[in-house]
């Protein structure tokens, strides 16, 4: 299965919420707008001309806004998207397939400017700091990225900076063995900033292309934990003032709108340079990715839709938009 096919399959919970909601909005049109007979789902699925149609009016746009908000796109993004969808189409009769296509186009417009792979610099080692709250998928993401970079011919070193959780270190070591990437560890409870410094020294000595530093999961409302993260950044910069060259914030899609608050806090502490969104396969809140792109404009480097190594893929805005909205493939 292609990644797009997998994405469409795994985004079922989010796409079903939007797709079915859009069908309802069109089919529950005022009586004067409705055709005498509504073939319903079969006609819609076959793209027939006699599929239900509804005039795009204020009532329809208001329901559309509500639907997008419940899909975790956020109020401001929902208002922007519906206004753009109405431009040039207001007063026209549309089918639900039309609306899905229009919605996919507007979502793509928001996502295109932020869909960028993680930049690779000539600097050796390029330091990649990976941050996020507990359970966001940081450790797994590091393992998958390291494996992919290694497969692309890059030499990679991983630093297991979550020195407080033995399971995280063990998980990274498993990924390291699988990818043929060395994993630096320190005794449980050690200072993660010291480990980061030592890892930079080793990566530099070995001429590694990339150093990926895992960090302990942090609750963004815990000032002490966030200060510890700030310390890691300060110590790294003692060795290289330009490091970390990438700071990836890993976000769990199941947290929905809470992801917005996480971005705000981590940006202040760690100068986040890009986002990775995980667990899109387990939630109906996939629309939050659109809200994040619209509000922060941070690069979205990759998305995760499962546990396997090929379930983390570069972010394609057009494919994501179509999979999210249930729009037909061209």
Separation of CA 180 from chain center: 27
Q: What is the pLDDT of residues 258-308, one digit of tens each?
A: 999 999 989 988 889 999 999 888 777 889 999 999 999 999 999 988 777
91 assigned to a ligand binding site: no
pLDDT, position 192? 92
pLDDT, position 217? 79
283 assigned to a ligand binding site: no
pLDDT, position 51? 76
CA end-to-end span of the chain:
18
Separation of CA 156 from chain center: 23
Task: List residues bridging with 250 in a β-sheet.
Answer: 276
138 assigned to a ligand binding site: yes
This prediction has a pTM of: 0.89
Phi then psi for residue 77, to 5 deg, are -70, -40
Question: Which structural domains are found in the chain, ordered by start?
Answer: 3-114 (1.20.120.140), 126-324 (3.40.50.300)
281 assigned to a ligand binding site: yes
Which is it for the CA torsion 277, 279, 281, 285, positive or negative? Answer: negative
Residues of the chain with pLDDT under 70: 1-6, 29-50, 218-221, 330
Which is it for the CA torsion 229, 234, 236, 240, positive or negative? Answer: positive
Q: What is the pLDDT of residues 219-240, one digit of tens each?
A: 656 777 778 888 999 999 999 9
pLDDT, position 31? 52
280 assigned to a ligand binding site: yes
User: Rounded CA gap, 286 and 325, in Å?
Assistant: 10
Question: Which single residue is written with the structure tokens 């401001």?
Answer: 76
- Nearest by Cα to 251 from 221, 208, 280, 291: 280
Q: Are strands 54-55 and 93-94 parallel, antiparallel or unpaired?
A: antiparallel
pLDDT, position 34? 46
Q: How many CB atoms lie within 10 A of CB 189?
A: 8
Give, as one character, the DSSP assignment of residue 281: G
144 assigned to a ligand binding site: no
215 assigned to a ligand binding site: yes
User: Rounded CA gap, 15 and 166, in Å?
Assistant: 37
Residues 116 and 299: beta-carbon distance below 8 Å: yes
The enclosing H or E element of 269 equals helix 258-270
Burial (CB < 10 A; 0-12, 13-18, 19+), residue 190, is: middle
pLDDT, position 35? 44
What is the per-residue DSSP string for 144-203?
Answer: HHHHHHHHTT--EEEE---TT-HHHHHHHHHHHHHHT--EE---TT--HHHHHHHHHHHH
User: Rounded CA gap, 216 and 232, in Å?
Assistant: 11
132 assigned to a ligand binding site: yes
């Amino acid at each position: 299965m292609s990644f797009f096919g997998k994405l469409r399959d795994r985004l079922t919970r989010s796409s079903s919420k939007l797709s079915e909601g859009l069908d309802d909005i069109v089919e529950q049109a005022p009586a004067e707008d409705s055709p005498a007979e509504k073939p319903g789902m079969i006609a819609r699925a076959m793209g027939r001309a006699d599929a239900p149609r509804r005039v795009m009016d204020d009532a329809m746009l208001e329901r559309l806004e509500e639907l997008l908000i419940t899909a975790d796109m956020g109020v401001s993004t929902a208002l922007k998207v519906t206004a753009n969808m109405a431009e040039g189409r207001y007063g026209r009769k549309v089918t639900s397939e039309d609306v899905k296509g229009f919605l996919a186009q507007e979502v793509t417009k928001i996502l295109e400017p932020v869909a960028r792979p993680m930049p690779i610099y000539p600097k050796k080692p390029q330091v990649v700091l990976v941050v996020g709250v507990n359970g966001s998928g940081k450790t797994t993401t590091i393992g998958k990225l390291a494996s992919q970079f290694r497969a692309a011919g890059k030499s990679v070193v991983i630093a297991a900076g979550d020195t407080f959780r033995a399971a995280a270190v063990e998980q990274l070591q498993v990924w390291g063995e699988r990818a043929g990437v060395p994993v630096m560890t320190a005794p449980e409870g050690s200072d993660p900033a010291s480990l980061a410094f030592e890892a930079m020294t080793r990566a530099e000595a070995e001429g590694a292309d990339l150093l990926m530093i895992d960090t302990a999961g942090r609750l963004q409302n815990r000032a002490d934990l966030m200060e510890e993260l700030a310390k890691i950044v300060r110590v790294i910069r003692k060795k290289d003032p330009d490091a970390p060259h990438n700071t990836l914030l890993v976000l769990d899609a199941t947290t929905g709108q809470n992801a917005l608050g996480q971005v705000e806090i981590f940006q202040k502490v760690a100068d986040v340079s890009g986002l990775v969104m995980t667990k899109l396969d387990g939630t109906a809140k996939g629309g939050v990715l659109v809200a994040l792109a619209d509000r922060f404009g941070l690069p979205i480097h990759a998305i995760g839709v499962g546990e396997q190594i090929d379930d983390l893929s570069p972010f394609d805005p057009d494919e994501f938009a179509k999979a999210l909205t249930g729009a037909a493939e061209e």
